[in-house]
Every structure is written in structure tokens, then in C-alpha cells.
Amino acid sequence: MKRKPTVFGNWKLHNTLKDSEELARAIIDGAAPYADRCHVGFAPVFTALCTVAEHTRKSTTCTLLAQNGYPKPNGAFTGEVSFSLIKDVGCTGVLVGHSERRHLFGESDELVGEKVESALQTGLTVVLCLGETLDEREAGHTWEVVDRQLTSAMFHVPPALRDKVIIAYEPVWAIGTGKTATPLQAQEVHALIRKRIEENWLAESAQSTVILYGGSVNAKNAQELFSQPDIDGALVGGASLKPESFLEIIKAAAESAATK
């Protein structure tokens, strides 16, 4: 089964309302030539979601994602935003388990699993983020960590909803550091993830699941990363804040479709 290349931008804690709107419009317009060959989306800050949604609703090019969400639908949870509210704003997907949520805000594998289940039940596509720290890699525990994060998050996902999960492998040591896993390092982990999906669920699920790479992806290294058989695109951080660099990555992903 041929998987459609996918590129998502995570804008993190950047951009005013005006900046977010201008960036979204530039990406929507610039990505139009690749719409049939590449799935494109971006995740602005919460305060910009409503405004940016006005543009993505009219677009056949780009989709809107949230950077995070809370698994309870409502209640006394000051400062949190539920997945149903995220969907109500106009998002079609959400990032779950990003390394910054795990390591800066202490989100456990159990909480990530709850978020995955809740987001899927709400009807959102989940971008499930996995990845090891530098210490874990140097100790030889990369696959142990990634496998634990994957299986714990997917344990309660019913078969009917598994096709709504996109995996993003993002080694923590490569996020915002300028360091990037080599294409072969990334491919090795992506292949193991796909193999585990096949072992735990179905071969059809393994072949249809989109697996992205995240970690200092830029216009210079994107093409080589996307040439690997199990790397289906990217979750892009810093390079997604500038339309020129983000569009170059989108172009590289779209062109990779012809070689796989």
C-alpha cells in the first residue's frame, strides 16, 4: 500500500495572531502545487487556532492541528483544553506525546495513552510522538524506549481507529539542537516501528501507517531523509516558522513519492 508523504509543522510557542495568520496563508498558497502529492498541516499556538481555522476550512491544501489536548471532555481542569473543544475550533488532528510534553511537563506513558484514546474517540487524527534521549541512545536503549512508548499508547486503541494514528519518531537529542539522526539511524527505528505494528496488530496496518521523522529537519537534509523506505515525511519544528524553508521540505516530500 502506497503511503502519501506527509509534512506537519509544529509552531510551538511562537507567533502572534497576526504572524500566525500570515504564515498560514503563505503556506496554504505555496503548498497548493503539491496538494495531490503531499499531506500538509500545521499546529499553531492555541490562541491562533480560531483565526487560522478560517483559512484552513477554505483550503484543499492544508489541515489544522493542535499541539496538545486534555483527555477529559469537561470539568474542573483549569488551564486545559479538551479534544472536543479542539475539534470544535476546526482542528482535524492533534499532536500527542511530544518530547517537550513528556520531559518538560512530566507527561507519563499512561497519560499519553489516555490522550491518544480520548482524541481518537473525539474524531481527531493523532500524531503520536516517540523518541529517546541522548543518554538512552548512548546506553543502547533506543528501541526499548520507543517500543514502550508505542505499545503503551496504542494498547487501548480499537482496530477501527488505528488508521487515524500517525507516528512521529523524534529523537529528543535531535530536537532544536541542530543535530539530526542520520537517514540510516532514522530508517532503522522507523523500520522497527513498522515491524512492531505488524507483529502487534495487522500487516495491513503496518503498511498503511504513516511514520514521520522529527528532529532538526530542514531544506538541506529533507530529501535524503525522505529517500528512506520507511520515512514517510516529517514533523518540522523551527523550519516550519519560515514559509520558504517549510515549502522546500514539502517539495522534497512530494518528490519522494515518485521514487518509492
The three cell numbers of residue 109 are 506513558
Record the cell numbers describing residue 145, joined without a space: 524506549
**Cα-Cα-Cα-Cα dihedral sign, residues 230, 122, 47, 129:** negative
Instruction: Pull the grid cell for residue 72.
Output: 477529559
CA distance linking residue 40 with residue 8, whole number of Å: 6
C-alpha–C-alpha distance, residues 252 and 51, integer Å = 29
Q: Which of these, 211, 139, 225, lies nearest to 181 by C-alpha position?
A: 225
The one-letter code for the residue type at 220 is K
User: Contact 126/166 with Cβ under 8 angstroms?
Assistant: yes
Catalytic residues: 98, 170
CA 196/CA 49 separation, integer angstroms: 35
